[in-house]
């Protein structure tokens, strides 16, 4: 059983997973990562290595737990570790691109690649991670059945890019129901797709059954939906010292997160929150008051309830799997994501 503190972020809980259940895999993972980064070495700076070193490796942990859920405790095939590394590279690519799009100077409290190297170089370095990630997945396949995984990876990367564009171009004048539908579409593409890929790829690379791989993918996507909603809630609830970014970034940038959509619907188009979202009011005072009013409203609690629903739905897809330590860890991770009060 994992030791999970309710005050610990899910990214940090990944450290417990690696230490308690995946310690032997961690050694192989780190060696495989170094090998994957070697072809890029002359193009990478300390900023990129910092992103990899300070990352909590939640997505590769999900991949390895899913693989072990069907494979058991004996040594995993090398292709599973290759897949876990490639998934992390894909995630790092999205982080680098996110910081360019958001003009963010910080990543986990440290200078972002965008800040350290400028947006032009950061975009290309992010592209390098994308390409190397796909190359890694191609290298991981060792029989015809695995070929479908390459298409899944490419489809996931395509959806991730679409999700980023969807988020940037949401029309805030739409009806609340349309905005909610748009939100879930964006969350699926921007966040849930990589968690779905993690769980599904883990089962595929461990030579599990196709039906089990699909079930694991559904678990991962539900987990990812809950993770995204909780991230939206913590954007409104965490101080900069704890999160590494200012409180209320989504509100400041007019990003239609789920709690903000519910708040705008609850409070009306003329309210302070809606006006800040539309860019009609600015400044630290207006932002702080808007954040406080969103947190005090019913929409905040409603979004939290939605996150719990997504996590609980995800757990249903774990039921057919063997009741082992790895399945229970995936179960506990999904609950932990939503067990912390924002």
- Residue-by-residue pLDDT tens, the chain, 342 positions: 554 555 556 556 778 899 999 999 999 999 999 999 999 999 999 999 999 998 889 999 999 999 999 999 999 999 999 999 999 999 999 999 999 988 888 887 788 999 999 999 999 999 999 999 999 999 888 777 777 888 999 999 999 999 989 988 889 999 999 999 999 999 999 999 999 999 999 999 999 999 999 999 999 999 999 999 999 999 998 765 455 567 898 998 999 999 999 999 999 999 999 999 999 988 999 999 999 999 999 999 999 999 999 999 999 999 999 999 999 999 999 999 999 767
- On whether residue 3 sits in a domain, the answer given is no
- On whether residue 52 sits in a domain, the answer given is yes
- On whether residue 43 sits in a domain, the answer given is yes
- On whether residue 5 sits in a domain, the answer given is no
Residue 90: CATH number of its domain: 1.10.600.10
The domain total for the chain is 1
> Over 315-335, what HEC string results?
HHCCCCCCCCHHHHHHHHHHH
Domain limits at 170? 10-339
- On whether residue 152 sits in a domain, the answer given is yes
What is the C-alpha to C-alpha distance for residues 335 and 311, in angstroms, rounded to an integer?
6
To 10 degrees, what angle do helices 58-71 and 210-235 make? Answer: 150
- On whether residue 193 sits in a domain, the answer given is yes
Global confidence as pTM: 0.93
What is the C-alpha to C-alpha distance for residues 49 and 52, in angstroms, rounded to an integer?
5
- On whether residue 238 sits in a domain, the answer given is yes
Could you give the C-alpha distances from 133 to 39, 136, 174, 242, 314, in angstroms and in order? 12, 5, 37, 30, 26
- On whether residue 306 sits in a domain, the answer given is yes
């Amino acid at each position: 059983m994992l030791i999970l503190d309710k005050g610990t972020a899910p990214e940090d809980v990944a450290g417990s997973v690696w230490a308690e259940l995946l310690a032997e895999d961690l050694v192989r993972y780190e060696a495989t990562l170094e090998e994957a980064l070697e072809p890029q070495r002359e193009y990478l700076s300390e900023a990129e290595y910092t992103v990899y070193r300070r990352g909590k490796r939640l997505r590769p942990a999900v991949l390895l737990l899913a693989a072990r859920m069907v494979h058991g405790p004996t040594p995993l095939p090398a292709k599973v570790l290759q897949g876990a590394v490639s998934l992390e590279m894909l995630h790092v690519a999205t982080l680098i691109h996110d910081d360019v799009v958001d003009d963010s100077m910080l990543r986990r409290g440290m200078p972002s690649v965008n800040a350290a190297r400028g947006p032009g170089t950061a975009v290309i370095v992010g592209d390098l991670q994308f390409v190397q990630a796909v190359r890694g997945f191609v290298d991981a396949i060792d029989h015809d059945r695995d070929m479908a995984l390459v298409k899944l990876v490419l489809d996931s990367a395509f959806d991730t890019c679409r999700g980023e564009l969807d988020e940037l171009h949401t029309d805030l004048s739409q009806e609340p129901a349309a905005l909610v539908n748009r939100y879930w579409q964006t969350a699926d593409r921007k966040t849930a797709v990589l968690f779905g890929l993690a769980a599904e790829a883990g089962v595929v690379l461990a030579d599990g059954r196709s039906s089990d791989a699909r079930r694991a993918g559904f678990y991962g996507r539900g987990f990812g939906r809950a993770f995204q909603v909780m991230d939206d809630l913590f954007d409104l609830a965490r101080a900069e010292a704890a999160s590494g970014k200012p409180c209320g970034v989504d509100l400041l940038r007019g990003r239609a997160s789920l709690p903000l959509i519910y708040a705008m619907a609850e409070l009306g188009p003329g309210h302070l929150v809606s006006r800040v979202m539309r860019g009609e009011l600015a400044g630290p005072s207006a932002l702080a008051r808007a954040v406080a009013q969103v947190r005090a409203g019913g929409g905040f609690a409603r979004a939290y309830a939605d996150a719990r629903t997504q996590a609980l739905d995800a757990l249903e897809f774990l039921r057919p799997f063997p009741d082992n330590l790895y399945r229970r860890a995936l179960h506990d991770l999904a609950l932990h994501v939503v067990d912390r009060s924002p």
